[in-house]
Amino acid sequence: MRKLMIRLVVVLFCCGCHDSDDKLATNDVTGDLDLEEWKTEDVQLTMWSFYDSGWEYSINDFRKEYPNVSIEVKEFPYDQYEDVYFQALFNGYGPDIMVFSSAHFSNFIDIGGLENLLEPPYNLASYEQSIPESLWQLGQSFDREKMIGIPFSTSPVVTFYRPDLLEPYGYPTEPEELAEYMSDATNWLEMARTLKQDDKWMIQWITEIAELTGRQSGLFDHNMNFLRNNDDVKESLELAKIVNREGLSPGFNLYDENGQQALREDRFAMFYQGTWGEEQIKGIAPEQNGLWRVTRLPLDLHVWDNGNIVAIPAASEHKEAAWAYIEHLVFEHSMYGSYGSVPAYIPARTSPETLEQKSEFFGGQEVQKLYHSVMEKTVEPRLTPVDQQVEEIWHEYMIQGVVWDMDSDDIIDKIMSRIDEELNQEIAILKDYMKED
């Protein structure tokens, strides 16, 4: 909570200096240098990221056009990179490029220190119609006046399932047929009950369906109004209470050893995860290659998992070269094909190199077509600096309410009351900020 307040103090500071030259706003991009000078001199770019795999492909492709530019990738652990980035931006130092997960980017959307890519010498505005609107806004500052990052990929939450484990019960095994069957809550519950009788499972946590429904709603609108006080969420809480009362969740999950052993022993018939669930299965039970398939979520839910965002720190000494690489990454290299996520760039989403890929692990299924079709109906939520804290309150008091078998309205009221008690000052700051803008 202390880090959140520090960041919001920075927000307040920046509110009064939109047009100033403070170091947390935007450094002078051009200075006295020729904007084309970097193309003829040796340039060493540094990129910070929370992962290091896969970058060599876009970098090597970029260097075919700009052999004078070298790019060094420095990886930070996922659970540490956020603090490293914040300290660098706050103190005015850092790399030429930063890569963020959307899970953490909400904490950087108006502390300053990142370039506004709508201003010269960048030309991001020319690409606005080439990125879906809800995905575009992930890169915006909190006041929506600047673009401080570019989303370059996005991904939904999907259902991973074992056709061979469902078929003996007479359930649909083709992806779309199964998704349609599970769109009915009665069918979904009946499946869970039937599988449980044979010590097979399809729900990891008692509140999982309510968590997914809440994520579909998002947290706040542009006026900082809470969005999860709605009938869909309340109905999902009733389902979660049934799951709890009837023991339809096994008490273990794929993050602990018991759950991983259950997966190896063919006792998980399905689970719900971001598209990276493929790598999760491979890491736990690689011998199950070819046995899994992917489809949409139950109850016709369309839930966003995460996205990746790239930005240029104001402290970068090679902004023009950094922008050239980012432009190549997002709008050129993505056309060569993507796997495991959906490109931000709309033309790249339907390129044959992406859509026609067949996954050996999923028995030859064209999973990119599924991910693309799901994202067509999925809306990325608005990010705010209090998202992480609100999610923690939501998760804690939702579980408590479900376990205590509280009325769904009372659960929501309790959550909203706790948000107000713990974060009223922070939310008030953000509301005042929006009024000033």
- Domains along the sequence of the chain with CATH: 2-155+306-359 (3.40.190.10), 164-304+383-423 (3.40.190.10)
Q: How much is the pLDDT for 172?
A: 98
Three-state DSSP state, 28: coil
Please give the average per-residue pLDDT across 43-69, as a whole number.
95
Please give the average per-residue pLDDT across 70-89, as a whole number.
96
Question: What is the enclosing helix (H) or strand (E) of 140?
Answer: none
**Residue 6 in this model has a pLDDT that exceeds 90:** no
Please give the average per-residue pLDDT across 321-348, as a whole number.
95
Asked whether 27 and 314 are in contact (CB, 8 A), the reply is yes
Q: What is the pTM of this model?
A: 0.90
With left for phi above 0 and alpha for psi between -120 and 50, is residue 30 left, alpha or beta?
alpha
Instruction: Please state, in angstroms and rounded to a whole number, the distance separating the CA atoms of residues 351 and 286.
Output: 29
Three-state DSSP state, 116: coil
**Residue 418 in this model has a pLDDT that exceeds 50:** yes
Percent of the chain with pLDDT over 90: 84
Percent of the chain with pLDDT over 70: 91
**Residue 364 in this model has a pLDDT that exceeds 70:** yes
pLDDT-derived band of residue 35, with 50, 70 and 90 as boundaries? Answer: low
**Residue 31 in this model has a pLDDT that exceeds 90:** no
Close Cβ partners of 324 (under 8 Å, ≥ 6 residues apart): 38, 62, 66, 69
**Residue 432 in this model has a pLDDT that exceeds 90:** no
With left for phi above 0 and alpha for psi between -120 and 50, is residue 101 left, alpha or beta?
beta
Asked whether 420 and 229 are in contact (CB, 8 A), the reply is no
Please give the average per-residue pLDDT across 186-200, as a whole number.
98
42-80: b (≥16 Cβ within 10 Å) or e? ebebbbbbbeeeebeebbeebeeebeebebebeebeeee
Please give the average per-residue pLDDT across 121-137, as a whole number.
95
Q: How much is the pLDDT for 1?
A: 47
pLDDT-derived band of residue 437, with 50, 70 and 90 as boundaries? Answer: low
Close Cβ partners of 259 (under 8 Å, ≥ 6 residues apart): 204, 250, 252, 253, 268
pLDDT-derived band of residue 323, with 50, 70 and 90 as boundaries? Answer: very high
Please give the average per-residue pLDDT across 391-419, as a whole number.
97
SS3 content of the chain, % helix, strand, coil (to 5): 50, 15, 35
Q: Which two three-digit tokens encode residue 119?
A: 């201003």
Q: How much is the pLDDT for 7?
A: 52
**Residue 293 in this model has a pLDDT that exceeds 90:** yes
pLDDT-derived band of residue 11, with 50, 70 and 90 as boundaries? Answer: very low
339-369: b (≥16 Cβ within 10 Å) or e? ebbbbbbeebbebeebbebebebbeebebbe
Determine how many CB atoms are found less than 10 A away from the CB of residue 243: 21
Kindly tell me the burial class for residue 286, based on how many C-beta atoms sit within 10 Å of its own C-beta (0-12, 13-18, 19 or more): exposed
On average, the pLDDT of the chain sits at 91
46, β-bridge pairs: 72
- Which residue is it, tokens 């997002």? 330
Q: How much is the pLDDT for 36?
A: 76
